[in-house]
Structure 1
């Protein structure tokens, strides 16, 4: 796929690509044909793009009772709510209402990117991301992922690093 740095490449221009371009962050664009009946958007992306699911991360919003926050975990796992609460320094969190997540981020569920949201939210990136040179996250639309280094992802989202994923039950 084409590496982008302020240039139009494969795939759409979204708030996520614009934010990365403004920040001067290198990334790759990975569009794919989205199947609306897919059970898991993230696992669909990994399969469609021929990627190891351990390198594809999903963006999940949680409600801290004081506002929303973001957890970024591998698509093959789940978000550990206690661990993300600890990482955020709050007593507990619950999964955010999907409508509230869409309203807050400006993206639709299944296409919520951790980058380029309407307003920055506290963000936690699972530590397993750092085992990979490149990780893939939603590019801001269903059927469109971005590949970038975990360090650049953390910088672009001001994420803290913590062990917030657990195996799928």
Structure 2
């Protein structure tokens, strides 16, 4: 049996002595979170996706980037998310910009271990679980982690940032 190749996300959890489980699944290309949960048997309500967004840059200013961790079956409420991070508005990062900015690829983007630590917001529903499922930092790998521990490591916050019909 080969040694597990660690991702940046796993190394950060190890360094902070935070327990986690690794779940590998067969996947050659990007699949969405619902299909990932189906493949791994993870409960949908405990499975979260990582979205990276940017605020609108002020004239001559630099863009600020934000990480949002939301349930896989939900959509971000852009107004609520923007208000939460003190921006007028947010826009989703283009896929072509994801790897240069975060070091991760689409479908393997973890809120842990990006090239820089960005302000992180986790949907408040995560707080009701002992563990949540997030990307392990590469396509084909999920990890389970305690949501409070995730917040501590990312210096994040809980907020209601999903659309309500």
TM-score (norm 2): 0.89
TM-superposed CA distance for 1:144, in Å, is 0.3
* Structure 1, gaps ≥5 residues long: 1-8
Matched, 1:89 2:83: no
Matched, 1:105 2:102: yes
Distance 1:30 1:165 in 2: 26
Distance 1:32 1:11 in 2: 13
Show the counterpart of 2:43: 52
TM-score (norm 1): 0.87
TM-superposed CA distance for 1:10, in Å, is 7.8
Distance 1:23 1:111 in 2: 21
Distance 2:4 2:109 in 1: 16
Indicate conservation of the 8 Å contact 2:76/2:162, yes or no.
Answer: yes
Distance 1:56 1:45 in 2: 9
* Structure 2, gaps ≥5 residues long: 57-62
Among candidates 68, 71, 86, match of residue 68 of structure 2: 71
Distance 1:33 1:50 in 2: 13
Indicate conservation of the 8 Å contact 2:30/2:139, yes or no.
Answer: no
TM-superposed CA distance for 1:11, in Å, is 4.7
Show the counterpart of 2:163: 166
TM-superposed CA distance for 1:73, in Å, is 0.1
Aligned length: 158
Distance 1:118 1:37 in 2: 21
Show the counterpart of 1:16: 9
Matched, 1:61 2:58: no
Distance 2:43 2:124 in 1: 17
- In structure 2, the CA distance between the partners of 1:11 and 1:81, relative to structure 1 (3 Å rule), is farther
